[in-house]
A and B are shown apart, each in its own frame.
Chain A
């Protein structure tokens, strides 16, 4: 036990004396959270709008005013021809153009309907879709006020539950937690073990009276603690700086995070048993763990919209299950009763990986 304490102390020396390591461990979570929180947003605040009004009547002016006052749009220019629209798009001065047909108000009164054409820049389909959504709702809003007394109809009133303001930071925080934990736990552990192999100190450790289990546990405990500190920091920052809620039990969230950390640590140990070079360990961790965690877990791209083979692969990615759990607890206030299946999957992954790496670690001797 005494020698084990010394071992832990040594691990902490390694971490705090290596500036790069310390920077990755403590700086990265902060920088990523601030980046994702402030810079990367799905919501669009200022859409540059061009209007090609061929009618210039009371109705088109009223609609135009509605756009201007909605808060989402900035009127950048009045357009006078189709060619001008195309030019403005090419130049990038507008993100959307609205075309009112000639005789708009007259048609509306006489025929009960008039046409508005909405043009967006399809080179970025995601933004286009969001802008179109804003536009439709402004037009809908106008129609409702204009026709309130006149007509009876079905009105759809959408509400995004759990995230009514559609704040993207709410979406990113759980993903970010998964990413940071993966990085700290798996990448750092695999690097720290392979480093001992490279420097030849691993042999001395194995020859010493430390048991292999003690070596593994000693390697893992510091990262376990640091990863947990990171979770707490991210959740606290997300809540205080960005107002991300934690509607469910914080204790449950922390326990689930600990489980995910164990899974990631087991992955890290496993990686270090299949290679003895830091470079390879880093490559495997980055390409084999971080990319799937970002791309296939549902962090950025929804799993549901992936083709079947990718959806099947995504089941193998621990972060996918952790994301479901964290989103559930933080945003929906889900209790354990609804996420026990995901928890079980993570626990199973951790057990299998841990068993496999301990077996590999031993047979290597």
Chain B
């Protein structure tokens, strides 16, 4: 395994008296597909927002892409990509304009933007609709485009916050093919999801319950530990044990 790209030490976020993320300690290495699971309100989004610099942690330490979360926020920004559950593209811009805009705000040069736009339109087979406004494209296309745009500036890590919400299983499967492809090229993927079948695709999983890490392991090892057949059952057991406490 290579150098860790994300390292957190007791990262904590409190909102008043409520502890959203409680002493999160993780080490994620380069090229890994890291799944981040949890029920609604378990602290997934809060954690992702801290790691992307959208939210200041209450306490704890973290480095992302080798930069300190507090002092090196510019370096962090340059080396991460982010895709939220709402795809975050502009519906009233065309495909080409979207690519150009996001490439621009991630600091690519004009020359690079042209090059990249052409490559991307080709590889996504979107040449025919390059000048169509996004609003009229199918969800699956937007999702693929959103992912490609998030990694256009060749970041070390990409954060995907429930990237497959509301998408049909076939499109989801294709989306995961893209994720695998990117991971093979050395990109680290940090993904949160609700779908347990997707959890099985990850290299490693972290299951959050009430802001704390309840389990952290490879999917097959996790299933062995809990003595069950599927991730679904692991998840239910964890959720239940929490309730009976």
Q: Which residue of B lies closest to A198 (CB)?
A: B86
Partner of A18, one of B52, B77, B92, B107: B92
A200 & B97 in contact (Cβ 8 Å cutoff): no
A295 located at the interface, meaning its Cβ lies under 8 Å from any Cβ of chain B in the complex: no
A201 located at the interface, meaning its Cβ lies under 8 Å from any Cβ of chain B in the complex: yes
Question: How many B residues, CB 8 Å from partner?
Answer: 33
* Segment touching B, from A206-214, A265-273, A310-318, A343-351: A206-214
Cα separation A5 to B188 with both chains bound (whole Å): 31
A6 located at the interface, meaning its Cβ lies under 8 Å from any Cβ of chain B in the complex: yes
4 further A-B pairs in the complex, CB-CB below 8 A; given A2-B110, A10-B97, A365-B55: A10-B90, A10-B101, A201-B89, A206-B53
A203 located at the interface, meaning its Cβ lies under 8 Å from any Cβ of chain B in the complex: yes
A23 located at the interface, meaning its Cβ lies under 8 Å from any Cβ of chain B in the complex: no
A149 located at the interface, meaning its Cβ lies under 8 Å from any Cβ of chain B in the complex: no
A17 located at the interface, meaning its Cβ lies under 8 Å from any Cβ of chain B in the complex: yes
B56 located at the interface, meaning its Cβ lies under 8 Å from any Cβ of chain A in the complex: yes
A204 located at the interface, meaning its Cβ lies under 8 Å from any Cβ of chain B in the complex: yes
* Chain A neighbourhood of B104, CB < 8 A: 2-3, 5-7
Cα separation A186 to B84 with both chains bound (whole Å): 28
* Chain A neighbourhood of B88, CB < 8 A: 199-201, 203-204
B93 & A200 in contact (Cβ 8 Å cutoff): no
* Chain A neighbourhood of B91, CB < 8 A: 199
Cα separation A365 to B54 with both chains bound (whole Å): 5
B93 & A13 in contact (Cβ 8 Å cutoff): yes
Q: Which residue of A lies closest to B73 (CB)?
A: A365
A14 & B92 in contact (Cβ 8 Å cutoff): yes
Q: Which residue of A lies closest to B87 (CB)?
A: A200
Partner of B105, one of A17, A200, A209: A209
B82 & A207 in contact (Cβ 8 Å cutoff): yes
A205 located at the interface, meaning its Cβ lies under 8 Å from any Cβ of chain B in the complex: yes
Cα separation A5 to B104 with both chains bound (whole Å): 9
Cα separation A204 to B92 with both chains bound (whole Å): 17
* Chain A neighbourhood of B150, CB < 8 A: 204
Q: Can you give 16 A-B contacts (C-beta < 8 A)?
A: A2-B110, A3-B104, A7-B104, A10-B90, A10-B93, A14-B90, A17-B92, A200-B88, A201-B88, A203-B54, A204-B82, A204-B150, A205-B105, A207-B82, A209-B106, A365-B55
**Contact string against B for A residues 1-38, beta-carbon threshold 8 Å, 1 for contact and 0 otherwise:** 01101110110011001100000000000000000000
A207 & B52 in contact (Cβ 8 Å cutoff): yes
* Chain A neighbourhood of B10, CB < 8 A: none
Cα separation A7 to B102 with both chains bound (whole Å): 9
Q: Within the complex, what minimum Cβ distance (angstroms) separates B136 from chain A?
A: 13
The answer to whether residues A13 and B97 also contact, given A18-B92, A199-B88, A204-B88 and a CB cut-off of 8 A, is: yes
What total count of A-B pairs have CB within 8 Å? 76
Question: How many A residues, CB 8 Å from partner?
Answer: 23
A2 & B85 in contact (Cβ 8 Å cutoff): no
The answer to whether residues A7 and B105 also contact, given A13-B97, A207-B77 and a CB cut-off of 8 A, is: yes
B100 located at the interface, meaning its Cβ lies under 8 Å from any Cβ of chain A in the complex: yes
Partner of B77, one of A5, A201, A208: A208
List the interface of chain A (C-beta within 8 A of B).
2-3, 5-7, 9-10, 13-14, 17-18, 199-201, 203-210, 365
The answer to whether residues A209 and B74 also contact, given A13-B92, A204-B102 and a CB cut-off of 8 A, is: yes
Q: Within the complex, what minimum Cβ distance (angstroms) separates B192 from chain A?
A: 14
Q: Which residue of B lies closest to A10 (CB)?
A: B101
Cα separation A312 to B178 with both chains bound (whole Å): 62
Q: Within the complex, what minimum Cβ distance (angstroms) separates B14 from chain A?
A: 15
Partner of A200, one of B77, B86, B100: B86
B109 & A2 in contact (Cβ 8 Å cutoff): yes
B78 located at the interface, meaning its Cβ lies under 8 Å from any Cβ of chain A in the complex: yes
* Chain B neighbourhood of A210, CB < 8 A: 105
* Chain B neighbourhood of A208, CB < 8 A: 77, 102, 105-106
A209 & B77 in contact (Cβ 8 Å cutoff): yes
Cα separation A200 to B87 with both chains bound (whole Å): 8
Q: Which residue of A lies closest to B77 (CB)?
A: A209
Q: Within the complex, what minimum Cβ distance (angstroms) separates B204 from chain A?
A: 23
B80 located at the interface, meaning its Cβ lies under 8 Å from any Cβ of chain A in the complex: yes
Q: Within the complex, what minimum Cβ distance (angstroms) separates B78 from chain A?
A: 6
Q: Within the complex, what minimum Cβ distance (angstroms) separates B9 from chain A?
A: 22
B100 & A6 in contact (Cβ 8 Å cutoff): yes
Cα separation A2 to B104 with both chains bound (whole Å): 7
Q: Which residue of A lies closest to B83 (CB)?
A: A204
* Chain B neighbourhood of A199, CB < 8 A: 86, 88, 90-91
Q: Which residues of chain B from 108 to 123 have a CB within 8 Å of any chain A CB? A: 109-110
Q: Within the complex, what minimum Cβ distance (angstroms) separates A29 from chain B?
A: 23
Cα separation A200 to B97 with both chains bound (whole Å): 18
The answer to whether residues A365 and B53 also contact, given A3-B105, A13-B97, A204-B102 and a CB cut-off of 8 A, is: yes
A6 & B56 in contact (Cβ 8 Å cutoff): no
The answer to whether residues A207 and B55 also contact, given A2-B104, A7-B104, A14-B92 and a CB cut-off of 8 A, is: no
The answer to whether residues A6 and B105 also contact, given A14-B92, A201-B88, A209-B77 and a CB cut-off of 8 A, is: yes
Q: Within the complex, what minimum Cβ distance (angstroms) separates A206 from chain B?
A: 6
Q: Which residue of B lies closest to A5 (CB)?
A: B104
* Chain B neighbourhood of A5, CB < 8 A: 104
* Chain A neighbourhood of B92, CB < 8 A: 13-14, 17-18
Q: Within the complex, what minimum Cβ distance (angstroms) separates B48 from chain A?
A: 10
Q: Which residues of chain B from 133 to 153 have a CB within 8 Å of any chain A CB? A: 133, 150
Q: Within the complex, what minimum Cβ distance (angstroms) separates B81 from chain A?
A: 8
Find the residue from B55, B105, B107, B110 having the highest chain A CB count within 10 A: B105
* Chain A neighbourhood of B110, CB < 8 A: 2
Q: Which residue of A lies closest to B149 (CB)?
A: A204
